[in-house]
Structure 1
């Protein structure tokens, strides 16, 4: 009986290993959102790690999360390391390349609760007039553990949900700033036009004196 149980377990384990090994060796998670804003506004929020706390879905998961910034203030070479609770773990991001208002490439390194290195890309594609479609993409290789997790958890759904939250926050922030920018420009234009139409000041009459 004991041998039969061991044999059955061996079959189950072998079957599980075969099933896991047949899972995709790579993954790609992508979400996009169109925003009524010029591309420079969302680009600026992503290109500067110091501004991620305004929109990142993970900052809210651990307000006490420790952050370290290094390298240039923004753009290629800038790094952002974090260490927090079980929900956010520990890791590091590095901006590898940034083409203004078009694309930002980031290397994403997870250190805890597991180790992994993934490629993250943000793209900014012109949409309707005055709008831009922002895409958030993460790609990487699945280890055996990652393949096993994919059998029980919908990684695309879990991470994709966070991407959707982050993009929605970027949309809210940038659309408001775009509106404020238009209002400032309209006010400045009105003030300039009013100044141009104002009558030119006349010279004050000079005092005259008479000789007695």
Structure 2
């Protein structure tokens, strides 16, 4: 009897192992949003790790999360390390490549709760109407444990929600900045026009009448 039970367990484990092994060895999670703002605003916000606290979906999950910066201030070579609660874990990001107003590539190193290394890629594409389509993607390899985890958890749905939240916040803050910038420009133009008109009136008043 025990031999039959043991044999059944072995067969079951082999079957589970085969199912896990058949899972894809790579993954890619991607979300996009359209932002009505000059491309330099969303690009600059992503390109500077110091600004991530204003839009990153994980900043809200742990307001007490500890962060540290190293390397370049922004752009390639800049490093951002974090350590927080169970929802954010511990890890490090290194900005490895940036094509101005086109793309940003980041190496993600997760240290806790489980070690893993992935790649994040942001792309910025004009839509033709003055807006920018910003795409946030993450891709990497899955080991046996990662494949097993994917049997029970939909990673695309779980992480995709965080991407959607982060992109929505990025859209809000950059569109607000674009609006504020436009209003400042209009105010400056109006002030310059008023000063020019005043100067012309003063010049005309100072001109002797023939």
TM-score past 0.5 threshold: yes
Mapping of 1:134-149 within 5 angstroms? 134-149=134-149
1:50-75 deviation per Cα after TM superposition (whole angstroms, max 9, x unaligned) = 11000000011111111110011110
Match of 1:103 in 2: 103
1:17-47 deviation per Cα after TM superposition (whole angstroms, max 9, x unaligned) = 0000000000000000001111111111101
Task: Report the secondary structure of 1:74's partner residue.
Answer: coil
Please, which runs of 5 or more residues in structure 1 have no aligned partner? 204-212
Q: Distance in 1 between matches of 2:125 and 2:174?
A: 15
Q: Distance in 1 between matches of 2:171 and 2:63?
A: 22
Residue 193 (str. 1) matches residue 167 (str. 2): no
Q: Distance in 2 between matches of 1:141 and 1:72?
A: 28
Moved more, 157-166 or 57-66: 57-66
Residue 78 (str. 1) matches residue 78 (str. 2): yes
Moved more, 97-106 or 161-170: 97-106
Q: Distance in 2 between matches of 1:121 and 1:185?
A: 33
Q: Distance in 2 between matches of 1:149 and 1:126?
A: 37
Match of 2:10 in 1: 10
Q: Distance in 2 between matches of 1:197 and 1:60?
A: 50
Match of 1:39 in 2: 39
Match of 1:181 in 2: 181
- Whose radius of gyration is greater, 1 or 2? 1
Q: Distance in 1 between matches of 2:135 and 2:38?
A: 15
1:94-120 deviation per Cα after TM superposition (whole angstroms, max 9, x unaligned) = 000111111101000001111111010
| TM-score (norm. length: structure 2) | 0.94
Match of 1:52 in 2: 52
Residue 200 of structure 1, CA deviation: 3.2
Residue 195 of structure 1, CA deviation: 1.5
Match of 1:209 in 2: none
Residue 177 of structure 1, CA deviation: 0.7
Whose helix proportion is higher, 1 or 2?
Answer: 2
The two structures, once aligned, show a CA RMSD in angstroms of 1.4
List structure 1 segments (4+ residues) > 4 angstroms apart after TM superposition. Answer: none
Number of equivalenced pairs? 205
Match of 1:210 in 2: none
Residue 130 of structure 1, CA deviation: 2.0
